[in-house]
Amino acid sequence: MIERIQKRFALTKIGAKNLVKACISCTVSYLVIAMSIGVLYYFVCDVLNLWLKQSESLSIPISIIECIVVIVLIFLAHYIQYNMTFLNTYTESARLRISVAEKLRKFPLLFFSKRDLSDLTTTILSDVTGMEQALSHFIPEFVGSIISTTLLSLCMFFFDFKMALAAVWCVPVSFLLVVLAKKKLSQAGRKDRMIQLVRTEKIQEGLESIRDLKANHFTEKYLNEVDQAIDNCEKSQIRTELTNALFVVSSQLILKLGIATVVIAGVYLLEQNEINFEIFLLFLIVASRLYDPLNATLQNLAAIISCDPKIERLNEIENYPVQTGKETFEPSNYDIEFKNVSFSYQEGKEVLKDISFLAKQNEITALIGNSGGGKTTCASLAARFYEIPKGRITIGGIDISTIDPEVLLSKFSIVFQDVVLFNNSVLENIRIGKKDATDAEVKEAARLAFCDQFVNALPQGYETIIGENGSKLSGGQRQRISIARAILKNAPIVLLDEASASLDVESETYVQKALSRLLQNKTVIMIAHRMRTVANASHLVVLENGQVKEEGTPEQLIKQNGIYKHMVDLQKMSNEWKIG
């Protein structure tokens, strides 16, 4: 049962157990409140008997004791209910977010290429928040109300079948109306979710590209699009609320008919002498207590149904296959070999077609070719960022698909063209390469990467906060910090993806000197478009349209007079180009 609850509401195992406890505590709370009906009923009966002179006095002390007992029980029941619902829900919300983040950490990058960043952000934040409200307010109260109402209804049938039938007939009819509307409510919720996602994406797009919007005088048009997205979102939420109201209010109106049928049936049965006034009074009291909680319960049911899209998205992440493998990886060497590897990001559109090549340890293997040829894809596959459907990639003869990705990546230092830095100090940004490194080790890596020159000129030196993604630094400075990370990590395999492509001459000189120190005695796979960057590479692999077209040393490929020679000649021509 716990596993079914986990899947139904996208919970952790602890959360599912706590939800059961919350439902039980709500049930007990409702039943304790129902006890007050009995106290009130017997007190009214005593008053009636005194008024009709069927008794000589009221048992006031007993009634007071009964009231005190009920009040204490209600307090204890509500105290336990609060702890079982709200407190447990808040801790489950934290566990759920951590669980989602842990799952995302183990996903291949192909998952993220199919999901928008704002969509994932909304799932982690908004969807979990929505489930938090459902777990604390909707589900436990709904289950508790249903169970307590069912038990109360069964008790009513013991007193009088006809009056009980008059009181409870509207309950299943009301719930049936909401249940039948489940499909419509779920569709409205999914549609509203998609429209909200479009709004979020549009706002995020503007924040990320504000410079380009202003530079191209596109701001006004963009703001009009944002306004339209917000208007669509507002209209969608109004439609969703009206859809919920249509079914919920209708079911609540049906529920209110129960009081009318109790009165009508009670008066008729009194006239027929089938019940006495005390029974009639009992059912009036029960009916007044029975329907009010059920009104909220119907709203809770609609809210639970509207949570289905959130649950589906959370379960999609939970059920997505993660990358797994052995926890140890100590190959005899670090030669990287591609054996008949094929890969596609989208079905039917192969990016790599039967690729085979060998990148040897202590050598620089450069992947070159036109854009879209598959160079970056090869580097990403070597680090197991994606899973390959065909072929094998081995390191030291060991298939990387059998190694846990985090263990595998501990053997890689990666320097991308687009450096990612954090709004932290220079020291901590470099320490990412080796989290337990001492300050002295970090500063030595920075020195080897030629970072100390510009770092010492910063206001607080290595303690300077460099802004979001290193906004306070130049491109060359950010790149050198990235190389310092790699030097600090000192992994046996290095992946370089256009590490100096967008730098000025001076910055490129520093970066290339830093790279020379990084690449010593490593297995290196380098991606580059500048032919002078790969002129000293040990081995060149020329990729075109996802296939290996040429392979060998620079000298050998020049003699072949093929694609590589053509690329070298073109770059020489571009270097000689002059304005005018």
Q: Which residues pair with 337 in a beta bridge?
A: 358, 394
What is the model's pLDDT at position 48? Answer: 61
Confidence of residue 482 (pLDDT cuts 50, 70, 90): confident
Average predicted confidence (pLDDT) for the chain: 81
Give residues with Cβ within 8 angstroms of 516, minimum separation 6: none
Q: For the stretch 504-525, what's the b/e string if a residue is b when 16 or more beta carbons lie within 10 angstroms of its beta carbon? A: eeebbebbeebbeebbeebbbb
Retrieve residue 166's tokens.
């008059």
Cα(304)–Cα(245) distance, integer angstroms:
14
> DSSP for 262-290?
HHHHHHHHHHTTSS-HHHHHHHHHHHHHH
pLDDT classification of 395: cutoffs 50, 70, 90: very high
CA distance 516 to 494: 12
Residue 462 lies in a domain: no
Q: Assess whether pLDDT exceeds 80 at residue 571.
A: no
When pLDDT is cut at 50, 70 and 90, the band that residue 58 belongs to is: low
Residue 525 has pLDDT above 80, yes or no: yes
pLDDT at site 431: 92
> Bigger pLDDT: 546 or 107?
546
How do 493-497 and 349-359 pair as beta strands? unpaired
pTM of the model: 0.67
Distance CA 171, CA 150 (A): 10
| Overall number of domains in the chain | 1
* pLDDT, average across residues 291-320: 75
> What was the pLDDT predicted at 51?
60
- The encoded tokens of residue 455 equal 């770092």
For residue 335, name the pLDDT band (cuts at 50, 70, 90).
very high
> How, if at all, do strands 412-416 and 493-497 pair?
parallel
Q: What is the pLDDT of residue 501?
A: 54
Tokens representing 419?
């450096």
CATH number of the domain to which 110 belongs: 1.20.1560.10
pLDDT of the residue at 339: 94
* Pairing, β 523-527 against β 364-368: parallel
Q: In the numeric block, which tokens belong to residue 528?
A: 């580059």
Q: Which domain holds residue 95?
A: 2-319
**Closest by alpha carbon to 527, among 405, 364, 395, 385?**
364
DSSP state, 354?
E
Q: How many CB atoms lie within 10 A of CB 29?
A: 25
pLDDT in tens, 425-448: 989 989 988 888 899 998 888 888
Highest mean pLDDT among 192-201, 418-427, 502-511 belongs to 418-427
Please report which helix (H) or strand (E) contains residue 338, including its range.
strand 336-346
The C-alpha angle 242, 259, 156, rounded to 5 degrees, equals 120
Q: What is the pLDDT of residue 355?
A: 92
In a domain, 555, yes or no: no
120-128 long-range contacts (CB < 8 A, ≥24 apart) are 121/200, 122/196, 122/197, 122/200, 123/313, 123/314, 123/317, 124/97, 124/100, 127/310, 127/313, 127/314, 128/93, 128/96, 128/97, 128/100, 128/314
For residue 429, being part of any structural domain is answered with: no
Residue 445 and residue 484 in contact, taking contact as beta carbons nearer than 8 Å: yes
| Residue 243 placed within a domain | yes
- 162 in a domain, yes or no? yes
In tens, the pLDDT along 183-205 reads 777 777 778 778 887 887 788 77
Judge whether 64 lies within some domain. Answer: yes
Q: Name 155's Cβ contacts closer than 8 Å, sequence gap at least 6.
A: none
Q: Mention every residue, 6+ apart, whose C-beta is less than 8 A from residue 244.
A: 185, 188, 302, 306
Length of the chain equals 580
pLDDT at residue 16 greater than cutoff 90? no
Task: Give burial (CB, 10 Å; 0-12/13-18/19+) of 65.
Answer: exposed
| Residues 11, 140: Cα–Cα separation, whole Å | 14
Specify the higher pLDDT residue, 509 or 556.
556
pLDDT band at 576 (very low <50, low <70, confident <90, very high): low
Residue 52's pLDDT is what? 56
Q: Encoding tokens for residue 474? A: 């130049």
Q: Outline where 272-374 has alpha helix (H).
A: 277-306, 308-319
Residue written as token pair 């039980």: 24
Does residue 144 form part of some domain? yes
The Cα–Cα gap between 184 and 180 comes to: 8
Cα pseudo-dihedral 305, 309, 310, 311, rounded to 10: 80
Distance CA 529, CA 574 (A): 13
Would residue 412 count as lying in a domain? Answer: no
